[in-house]
A and B are shown apart, each in its own frame.
Chain A
Amino acid sequence: MNLLDYLPFDLPHPALLAAGMLEGTVLAAVLALTALGLSIVFGIMRVVNVAHGEFYMLGAVLAWFITHTVSGIIGGPPWLGFALALIIAPLIVAALAAATDWLVLKRLNYDPEATIVATIGILYIIQQLALTFYGPDARPVEAPFDFRVQLPWFGYSGYKLCVVGAAILLMLIVWLILARTKIGLIMRATQYDRETAQAFGIPVDKVYAGVFALGAGLAAIGAVLIVPIQQAHYLMGGDPLLLSFIVVILGGLGSLKGTLVAAIFIGLSDGIISTLYEPTLAKILATLLVAMVLVFRPQGLFGARAA
């Protein structure tokens, strides 16, 4: 008698499991980048940025404008437009975020409650501006390259696999900046104690603007990577915002390691549960998990307890 016959449930088909893991890995990679931005902003500035998803959307929409201009009007190859989008779109979004910091958040003295309300307002402003100037349509961005990887059960997009690689590379760079450079040291000093940092001559205002720009830029990079898979649409910021919050709460606000671990966990479980059962069930379980963490371990899995 086969030992497997004693299992109280059927083992999932390997094709389903493989598809779930692949989709989950891609989601985890992009989510890690996006949530990292949210986490850095909270960790250093103590600002809960509700407009984070709109910076993501803006990255995707700008990627469409750039690739459309390069291949549609100038007639360049798709990879050129995409490469330019990958550099220019996050820079524009970062500049806009720095301006937002200077125009809005700084004037509110980074008061936690006021900044939440202010970023909700920014969310709607960015979303409606995108609707006005970009329109309500979902528009495709051509992938810079496309090849199909044949697995035993089905084929998979080679581009998606490269997105995972690119996300890992980008996260390594962010980690190096934070842990090994002087800029990173200044950021960490500001996070540790704002007043003392200022007393030591660290330009805290500039650090804050830079951090807010970096956070938004990371969301935009995630969006540029995902847009050849998903198409750019003015309402696309909602899902990444929700998932980023789930990840950041699970991992512990401000903890980069926690963010990474939680992104991988949420990404993979979303992929696998969606494939084997229902996508709605995946969202229900993730939200339930957040509720449990908030009740039993409010500082998150890796977060330090608030002083």
Chain B
Amino acid sequence: MATDDTNRRNLLKGAAAIGAVAAGSQLLPGAARYAQAQSSAPIKIGFQVHRTGIGAAYGRWYDRTTKAAAKLINDEGGINGRPIEIVAEDDGTDPKRGAEVIEKFATKHECDVAFGTLFSHVVIGSAPRAGELKLPYFVVSEGHHVASGMLNRYTLQPGITDVKSQVQSMAPWVADNLGKKVTMIYPDFAFGHDHRDYFSEAIERRGGNVIAKIAIPPRETSFFKYLPKIPKETEVLYHVMVGPGVLTFVKEMGEYFGDKRPEIFGFIDSLEAVDITSPGLEFLEGSHFWEGYPRYAGKDQSAHDKFYREAVGVDDTGASLSDPKDVSTFAHMFGCWETLHILKAGMEAADYKGPKDRQALIEAVENMDVFPESRAHPQGSKLFNGRTHQAFGHQHISRVEGGKLVPVHKTSIFDTFYEDETDYTKMSF
């Protein structure tokens, strides 16, 4: 027994020694790399992108917008004199893979920050890991989970507004212009639940109410069976759908209602990356949409909007310059552009040099309050709440007229405010 024990102890010692040697040999190139990082090595931004899975169309455009913004930032001298490098990894629009991607950014690629996630379930699946790894995580998701206090100090959403502020600024307009009895159709996960909860509250404050709530499982491919659940007395049908089935959804609504339809108010999420003139969508003529950023450039187009569209490669109808059938996710993807510019401003304010300055970066962003309309913020001015890590901005309502989205209403930023639900700055790092 004794010899066995000794042998095992020796074995363990040997293993430890090998480990130490291995660690030591890793130390040298690591140190060399760090010395270089002080000067000109790129700042690595891990880009968690929905290249496949149900978010693929969004991912394609988030990717193009991110590349365009990175190119602009690099052309203008990078951040603190260092270029930025976008390290893109596909998360498959899947929360489990999302967390793995965050892990890879932190350990394998040694990224300075992670950025770019859209789908709320992926954000919710990834943010805890980012917090554990102390990796700043800048999401472009519009979910309310950042401002609700559900996530952590390392997760921020400075480049896009959240669902709660979007729907509460829409509700008064819907109640005043379309009708007060609303039926909601939404996807059955966090993003859809945000819509359900905050729109219901907001429309009730305006004297309306939600008479039916129809939740649709995220992978559903046929929607007709849900439509008979819409009560006859519905005045406004509120829809927000995402994923590969949205065209089918609108087509089946058209078949179901024919020409006797209620007023329809949708979130453009239902038709992001979809050509409004696609066959079957004629049914949407005269219906209204929320848009985070109007897809069709209006008569009073700003110089910043013009510059942004050119840089990303999008024309005045929100389609790709190289293929008019390739329609962008215009109402959302600006968030990537704006977030990267905020990251640049934050890193410059914090005099960011490397991962040891991650806390300083987060504090610098938390200290920001106004993002004026500019080339860095082409969608418009925004106010940032450092306590809740969430930006607030203008929202738009457009009407489908002649197969185009025509803006009819723009909210003020103040319409989108709500009381703080958390204070991340009180949380330790």
Partner-B contacts on A (CB < 8 A): 13, 15-16, 18-20, 22-23, 131, 135-138, 140, 142, 148, 150, 153-157, 229-231, 233, 235-236, 239, 271, 274-275, 279-280
Asked if A155 and B53 sit within 8 Å, CB to CB, the answer is no
Can you add 6 more A-B contacts, CB < 8 Å, to A131-B52, A136-B57, A154-B256?
A19-B228, A20-B225, A140-B280, A157-B255, A239-B219, A275-B228
What residues of A have a CB within 8 angstroms of the CB of B255 in the complex?
148, 155-157
**Cα(A213)–Cα(B171), bound, Å:** 55
Tell me, in angstroms, the Cα distance from A135 to B57 when the chains sit together: 10
Minimal Cβ-Cβ distance residue in A for B274:
A140
Which among B57, B221, B229, B273 is the interface contact of A16 at CB below 8 angstroms? B229
Closest to A157 in B: B255
Knowing A155-B257, A157-B252, A157-B255, say if A138 contacts B225 (CB, 8 Å).
Answer: no
Most B-side CB within 10 Å, residue of A136, A140, A153, A154: A136
B56 within 8 A of A: yes
Residue of A nearest to B215 (CB): A278
Q: How far is the CB of A131 from chain B (nearest CB, A)?
A: 6
Residues in B neighbouring A155, C-beta threshold 8 A: 255-258
Q: What are 12 of the A-B contact pairs (CB < 8 Å)?
A: A19-B225, A19-B228, A136-B53, A136-B57, A136-B59, A138-B243, A148-B258, A154-B228, A155-B256, A230-B221, A271-B225, A280-B217
Q: Are A231 and B245 in contact (CB under 8 A)?
A: yes
B279 to chain A: closest residue by CB: A142
Closest to A234 in B: B52
- Of the candidates B225, B227, B244, B258, which one forms a contact with A279 in the assembled complex, judged by CB atoms under 8 Å apart? B225
Closest approach, in angstroms, between the C-beta of B281 and any C-beta of chain A? Answer: 10
Q: Are B225 and A23 in contact (CB under 8 A)?
A: yes
Q: Mark B200-227, 1 if CB is under 8 A from A, else 0.
A: 0000000000000000010111101111
Residue B224 contacts which of A13, A19, A135 (CB distance < 8 angstroms)?
Answer: A19
**Complex CA distance for A255 and B385, rounded to whole angstroms:** 65
A156-B255, A279-B217 are known contacts. Are A137 and B225 too (CB-CB below 8 A)? no
Contact residues in A for B220 (Cβ distance below 8 Å):
279
Instruction: State how many residues of chain B have any CB contact under 8 Å with chain A.
Output: 31
Q: A154-B256, A231-B244, A231-B245 known; A137 and B224 CB under 8 Å?
A: no
Contact A136 B225 (CB under 8 A): no
Assess whether B248 is interfacial by the CB under 8 Å rule.
yes
**Residues A23 and B224 in contact in the complex (CB < 8 Å), given A140-B280, A231-B245, A280-B217:** yes
The 6 tightest CB contacts between A and B, nearest first, are A138-B244, A136-B56, A19-B228, A275-B225, A136-B52, A155-B258
Task: Say yes or no: is B51 at the interface (Cβ < 8 Å to chain A).
Answer: yes
Residue of B nearest to A233 (CB): B244
- Please indicate the chain B residues that have their CB under 8 angstroms from the CB of A229 in the complex: 222, 248
Min distance, Cβ B230 to any Cβ of chain A, angstroms: 10
The answer, yes or no, to whether B79 is at the interface (CB within 8 Å) is no
Give the residues from 249 to 269 in chain B that come closer than 8 angstroms, CB to CB, to chain A.
252, 255-258
- Answer yes or no: B278 CB below 8 A from chain A CBs: yes
Distance in angstroms from B266 CB to nearest chain A CB is: 18
Q: Which of B53, B56, B59, B247 contacts A231 (CB 8 A)?
A: B247
Complex CA distance for A56 and B204, rounded to whole angstroms: 47
A23 to B53, CA, bound (A): 26
Tell me the smallest distance from the CB of B52 to a CB of chain A, in Å: 5
* Chain A residues, Cβ within 8 Å of B224: 19, 22-23, 156
* Closest A residue, CB atoms, query B278: A140
> Which residues does chain B contribute within 8 Å of A271, judged by CB atoms?
225
A231 to chain B, nearest CB (A): 6
**What is the chain A residue whose CB lies nearest that of B57?**
A137
Q: How far is the CA of A280 from the CA of B51 in the complex (A)?
A: 28
When distances are taken between beta carbons in the complex, the residues of chain A under 8 Å from B279 are 140, 142
Assuming A131-B52, A230-B222, is B247 touching A140 (CB within 8 A)? yes
Residues of B within 8 A of A156 (CB): 224, 255-256
Query: How far, in Å, is A26 (CB) from chain B's closest CB?
Result: 8
Q: List residues of chain B with CB within 8 A of the CB of A138.
A: 243-245, 247
Known contacts A154-B256, A279-B217; decide if A274 and B225 are in contact (CB<8 Å). Answer: yes
Chain B residues with CB under 8 Å of A239's CB are: 219, 221
| Whole-angstrom CA separation of A148 from B241 in the bound complex | 24
What B residues does A150 contact at CB under 8 A? 258
CA distance A157 to B256 in the complex (A): 8
Cα distance, A179 to B252, chains bound together (Å):
39
Whether A231 contacts B228 by the Cβ 8 Å rule is no
Contact in complex: A136, B221 (CB < 8 Å):
no
For residue B280, which residue of chain A has the nearest CB?
A: A140
Whether A19 pairs with B245 at a CB distance below 8 angstroms is no
B244 touching A154 by the CB < 8 A rule? no
CB < 8 Å: which of B228, B248, B256, B278 contacts A230? B248
